Structure 1
């Protein structure tokens, strides 16, 4: 799904993480040189790199948190992976911040302890980077991969009245195009097919992938994560690892307006 923290479709988080990775790794390298050579100025360089890495981590974390909250599909395997990715990176930040404080109170005499702490932190950073790469490459978080003639990514936030929602801007949809609509905590895809409009859940029952970020053709939507396919009018599964279908919603076109009807729960 397209990142909410991006510039012209380019996600900010993957770009910014390069800085703390470089600075924290550099700190470990220069402290290792200090340990090998005994020259203090290598540790001075390492301290500067730790400070730069902390600043870079905070800068990278801001768009990362935004993507976690608003881009990663809820109740999905990607959401769990993103949480582990973020927690691991916080641990890395805390360890390097701790080594900075430790150096202040113990000088450069405890270089062995510092090296051990930094090695653990860099190891965790590699693991976090592996999970981050999976989020981008497999879960396609922050990837604007729209297929040919899919149209620009469109996302609306609407409110329901008595379970009825007027879908604005539906006229912009062409055949086989979709848009994501947020209504009362629900994520619903409104799509235009050759036989008319359709509305269905933006949640693949297999691993929770966003169907709005997938591809649709001939009334069939395909999840971008593992390829499960569903009939957009009936919700029935047609192919892929998903064994169950997706909820669909009634649409009504009246007076040049399109209305979505949500199920009304009994009190």
Structure 2
């Protein structure tokens, strides 16, 4: 339940992107107030206001980081953007640490007319790091689709890609072993690379089905899609496909999914993908 809230499922919107605007704005305001204190003369309360803006920024950043950590743990381990996500997280933690240090340096100097140079330079560094982190966050969303539409998914997304091949198993049989059947619950998915073909295996009403991983519209990851009455919904643009047949049931996709035969053998899931 708590994880669902942190992923934004009750709000029908990811929570982390909603929260990050607050610390970014508050840190930026604090920085502008610092500049104002250096650029003006007389007592205007800029230093004190900057301190409180920064303190509130740290509090909201910690809240955003909790939701961000939950999102981070949902990223597939072999996803190309996982390294970006790790860098994004570490930089943000560094930013919070710098601002916490900054608050400690400023606490006894809130009555000053101008901000001291050491805390100001720390703010400059933190703003630069925050900008880099923001760039990485945007790249993950706009280039790699990280987190897009996942709040509509009620079950966990795959944590890795299972690889299986005819060469690995030394067989000419087109049916390849994938995983034990009891590892997959209703409306869960496995992401599988079988003989070089990336596909999804899911369980619906006790039966197993397999279809291509990438949506034919804009190549969204269907293994992360939501389930709706026997259909899989692409997390990116919400095209829907019949899980059993691969047929398009709702656009914008125009082309159906390629499906693959699935068998159960001795409690294990097998999928048929001819070797290329």
TM-score, L = length of structure 2? 0.60
Q: Which residue of 2 aligns with 1:256?
A: none
Q: Which residue of 1 aligns with 2:202?
A: 190
CA gap 1:168/1:87 in 2 versus in 1, 3 angstroms = closer
Contact 2:264 2:270 in 1 (8 A): no
What is the aligned residue count?
A: 206
CA gap 1:144/1:50 in 2 versus in 1, 3 angstroms = same
TM alignment of 1:115-154, pairs within 5 A:
115-144=120-149, 153=153
C-alpha distance in structure 2 between counterparts of 1:156 and 1:96, whole Å: 34
Q: Paired residue for 2:92, among 66, 89, 93?
A: 89
Q: Secondary structure at the match of 1:155?
A: coil
CA gap 1:104/1:49 in 2 versus in 1, 3 angstroms = same
The runs of 4+ residues in structure 1 deviating greater than 6 Å are 200-203, 215-218
C-alpha distance in structure 2 between counterparts of 1:58 and 1:4, whole Å: 13
2:68 is equivalent to residue 57 of structure 1? no
2:29 is equivalent to residue 26 of structure 1? yes
Q: Which residue of 2 aligns with 1:101?
A: 104
- 1:5 deviation in Å? 1.0
Q: Secondary structure at the match of 1:10?
A: coil
Q: Paired residue for 1:233, among 260, 271, 274?
A: 260
C-alpha distance in structure 1 between counterparts of 2:102 and 2:211, whole Å: 51
Q: Which residue of 2 aligns with 1:155?
A: 155
- 1:101 deviation in Å? 1.0
Q: Secondary structure at the match of 1:67?
A: helix
- 1:262 deviation in Å? 6.5
